[in-house]
Structure 1
């Protein structure tokens, strides 16, 4: 049984349609790469899953529940953890305060997050707004993990970061895959890094899912056609 499934999902921003026909599923413990060129609907799909944007057609099911009428805070409590594009940490709060702001009981507590990202332990009492971009991204991931989700959504988690920090983030994602049963959806452009963690791939083109399958089966023809690589 799928933990998350989207079936023929459409969505709009006002009168403008952004998603036309999005279909994919995520099993428990599976890592799915959500891919596509800029403006093809990846972040919009993430917003629909988190209920920050309501879909008008199709169905979105999470953990056996139709979430069409569920507000975003309820879906978060159901087990959807979001690391949004742009990080969006609480700049005036300390690292520790950011992490406990939405924490829920479970395996992911401050000690577990600090083990995954030791730099956050070093910066525990520092205001989030004074952290580097990479440290803020680690904080955003740690904050989502401390909600103890069943599904983690990473929207462009390595965009704009220095190569060494990007590598730290990818290593953390690999650890999450290897050591936990967490399902993960990763929005990213780096085929090389995705190849090391993703089980399956979904490609969006103009708001429609145009390819869905095992990541290992992604061919050069497909990536040239839909990703411009």
Structure 2
């Protein structure tokens, strides 16, 4: 049984339909990449999973719970942790305050997050707004981990970061897969890095499934057509 299952999900922004029957499965401990050009429905799919946008049709379940019937805070309490696009730290709060703001009991605590991202321990008493972009991204990932999720969703977690910081984030994702056994849904554009961590990839095109499989088996013509690479 899949931890997360989307079957034929449709969703709209008012009269404008954005998802046209999206299907997606993530098992326990599995890492799945969600890919596609900009505007193809990736972030909309994440919003629908997290209850920020209502699904108008289809089935959407997490650990057997019907997510279509639940508000966002209930979905989070089931064990869905989101690292949103654009970081969105609580800028006036310190690093420590950001981390404990949504903390829930479990194996992820301040010490474990600091082990994954040592720079957060060094900046513990600094205001989040004073951190670099890369440090803010580490903080946002750490904050999501402090909710002790069963599924971690990363929406463009490396976008706009310096190459050296991007590699730190990818190394952390690989470690989460290897050591924590988390289920992860990751949205990103980097085929090379995704291929190293993802078990499977799902490509969306105009709000519909266009391809699914192992990234290593992605045909070149499909990559060019749907990813532009």
Q: TM-score with structure 1 length normalisation?
A: 0.99
Which residue is 1:130 aligned to?
130
Q: Which secondary structure does the structure 2 equivalent of 1:192 belong to?
A: helix
Question: For 2:108 and 2:3, how far apart are their aligned partners in 1?
Answer: 20
Task: Judge conservation of contact 2:31–2:200 (CA < 8 Å) in 1.
Answer: yes
1:45-124 aligned within 5 A:
45-124=45-124
Which residue is 1:22 aligned to?
22
Which residue is 2:174 aligned to?
174
Which residue is 1:5 aligned to?
5
Question: For 1:73 and 1:191, how far apart are their aligned partners in 2?
Answer: 32
Q: Which secondary structure does the structure 2 equivalent of 1:203 belong to?
A: strand
Task: Judge conservation of contact 1:24–1:212 (CA < 8 Å) in 2.
Answer: no
Which residue is 1:151 aligned to?
151
Asked if 1:208 corresponds to 2:208, the answer is yes
For structure 2, the 5+ residue unaligned runs are none
Which residue is 1:221 aligned to?
221
- Residues 54-99 of structure 1 show CA distances to partners (whole Å, capped at 9, x for unaligned) of 1101011101111111000000000000000001100000000000
Q: Which secondary structure does the structure 1 equivalent of 2:26 belong to?
A: strand
- Residues 153-197 of structure 1 show CA distances to partners (whole Å, capped at 9, x for unaligned) of 000000000000000000000000110110000000000110110
Q: Once structures 1 and 2 are overlaid, which stretch shifts more, 212-221 or 58-67?
A: 212-221
1:5 deviates by: 0.6
1:215 deviates by: 2.4
Task: Judge conservation of contact 1:4–1:25 (CA < 8 Å) in 2.
Answer: yes
Q: Once structures 1 and 2 are overlaid, which stretch shifts more, 205-214 or 2-11?
A: 205-214
Task: Judge conservation of contact 1:2–1:26 (CA < 8 Å) in 2.
Answer: yes
For structure 1, the 5+ residue unaligned runs are none
Question: For 2:218 and 2:144, how far apart are their aligned partners in 1?
Answer: 30
Question: For 1:76 and 1:226, how far apart are their aligned partners in 2?
Answer: 31
Count of residue correspondences: 229
Q: Which secondary structure does the structure 2 equivalent of 1:52 belong to?
A: coil
Question: For 1:159 and 1:67, how far apart are their aligned partners in 2?
Answer: 28
Which residue is 1:44 aligned to?
44
1:21 deviates by: 1.3
RMSD: 0.6
Q: TM-score with structure 2 length normalisation?
A: 0.99
